[in-house]
């Protein structure tokens, strides 16, 4: 596995691979790899000749009061893990390589990037994500790019950029990877102390309760909220939204996402479940979400 720092080096490696007729898969990351990242690398490895993983803690998607300075970083460990997954290129640029002096462009996706995490974290968040991901697509020119469904809103924002700007890349959303007790894997989980780690399981349990309420015909969001309340968690948001447009919905007439964001201790966590629609209690039992059925 090669560790490359510059755009010119990556471009040259991609040119060689393309000249050989190779396909290219990209896994954009901010490092601090866990099983979720590794599952994206495996998926890319299974489908492409050349696998590129980008490792860049993107400053523009963090607000000044957010955790940019404390975001976990361990490039040597990440490089070992990526190598073990058969990754060909780890692209780990310095911020000045991505944002040189005078950088002035920002991509804003109206609507879906302005709600939920966009409303709580601020518009800069998804502008930062959309801009850096578009740059990575321009640098690597992958056939497909792999993202985790845990960041469901991010996946929708990236898909919209690709559609609206006619970018020639396929976006693949991979299932959420969970700890044995249901906690969605996240680089930020390392910040949870023992008490917060225990209480953090309430997020996935709340989503499970929401899915169970759908099956029993009870109100979904209140059922999920009750589980969070038992653990003393007051969510930043807990909402049922259309799985494509992120419009608020009250029924699962088509695929919907039950999404939650909450601070547990000092750590901000997000999670979601895809609830398959249209939902019809009497006839659709076989295709119901079983509470672990993430997209
Ligand atoms: O999901 C992430 O790790 C980041 O938001 C991404 C997609 C790598 C952009 O910085």
Asked if residue 206 lies in contact with residue 217, where contact means CB atoms within 8 angstroms, the answer is: no
What pLDDT score does 269 carry?
A: 98
> Could you count the other beta carbons within 10 Å of the beta carbon of residue 167?
17
48 is catalytic: no
95-111 pLDDT, tens digit each:
999 999 999 999 999 99
| Per-residue model confidence as pLDDT tens for the chain (295 residues) | 999 999 999 999 999 999 999 999 999 999 999 999 999 999 999 999 999 999 999 999 999 989 999 999 999 999 999 999 999 999 999 999 999 999 999 999 999 999 999 999 998 999 999 999 999 999 999 999 999 999 999 999 999 999 999 999 999 999 999 999 999 999 999 999 999 999 999 999 999 999 999 999 999 999 999 999 999 999 999 999 999 999 999 999 999 999 999 999 999 999 999 999 998 765 444 444 433 333 3
DSSP conformation letters of 36-73: HHHHHHHHHHHH-SEEEEEE---GGGS-TTSSTTTS--
Q: For a pocket test of ligand 1, which of 58, 106, 148 has the largest count of ligand atoms closer than 8 A to its C-beta?
A: 58
Q: What tokens were used for 104?
A: 């002035």
Is residue 200 in contact with ligand 1, taking CB distance under 6 Å? no
What pLDDT score does 291 carry?
A: 37
Which CATH number is 51's domain given? 3.40.50.620
- Whether residue 63 is contained in a domain is answered as yes
Percent of the chain at pLDDT exceeding 90: 93
DSSP conformation letters of 6-33: SHHHHHHHHHHHHHTT--EEEEEE-S--
- Whether residue 285 is contained in a domain is answered as no
- Whether residue 182 is contained in a domain is answered as no
Residues 9 and 146 in one domain: yes
- Whether residue 75 is contained in a domain is answered as yes
R_g over Cα of the chain: 19
- Whether residue 280 is contained in a domain is answered as no
**What range does the domain containing 252 cover?**
187-275
205-224 pLDDT, tens digit each:
999 999 999 999 999 999 99
Residues 163 and 236 in one domain: no
Structural domain count, the chain: 2
127-167 pLDDT, tens digit each:
999 999 999 999 999 999 999 999 999 999 999 999 999 99
Q: Which atom, in ligand 1's list, is nearest to the CA of 148?
A: 1
Residues 30 and 74 in one domain: yes
pTM of the model: 0.94
Is residue 28 in contact with ligand 1, taking CB distance under 6 Å? yes
């Amino acid at each position: 596995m090669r560790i490359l720092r510059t755009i010119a080096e990556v471009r040259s490696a991609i040119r060689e691979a393309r000249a050989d007729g190779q396909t290219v898969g990209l896994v954009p990351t901010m490092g601090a790899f866990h099983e979720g990242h590794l599952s994206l690398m495996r998926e890319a490895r299974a489908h492409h000749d050349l696998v590129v993983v980008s490792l860049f803690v993107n400053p523009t998607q963090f607000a000044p009061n957010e955790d940019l300075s404390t975001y976990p970083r361990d490039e040597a460990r990440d490089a070992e893990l990526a190598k073990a997954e058969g990754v060909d290129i780890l692209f780990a640029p310095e911020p000045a390589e991505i944002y040189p002096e005078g950088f002035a462009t920002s991509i804003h996706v109206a609507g879906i990037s302005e709600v939920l995490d966009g409303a709580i974290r601020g518009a800069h968040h998804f502008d930062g994500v959309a801009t850096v991901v578009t740059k990575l697509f321009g640098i690597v020119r992958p056939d497909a790019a792999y993202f985790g469904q845990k960041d469901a809103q991010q996946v929708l924002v990236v898909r919209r950029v690709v559609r609206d700007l006619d970018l020639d890349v396929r976006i693949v959303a991979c299932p959420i990877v969970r700890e044995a007790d249901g906690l969605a894997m996240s680089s930020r989980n390392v910040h949870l102390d023992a008490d917060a780690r225990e209480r953090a399981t309430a997020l996935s349990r709340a989503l499970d309760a929401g899915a169970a309420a759908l099956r029993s015909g009870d109100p979904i969001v209140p059922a999920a909220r009750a589980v969070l309340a038992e653990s003393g968690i007051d969510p930043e948001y807990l909402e049922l939204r259309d799985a494509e447009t992120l419009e608020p919905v009250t029924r699962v007439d088509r695929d919907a996402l039950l999404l939650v964001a909450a601070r547990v201790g000092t750590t901000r966590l997000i999670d979601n479940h895809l609830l398959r629609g249209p939902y019809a209690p009497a006839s659709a039992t076989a295709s119901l979400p079983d509470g672990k059925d993430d997209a």
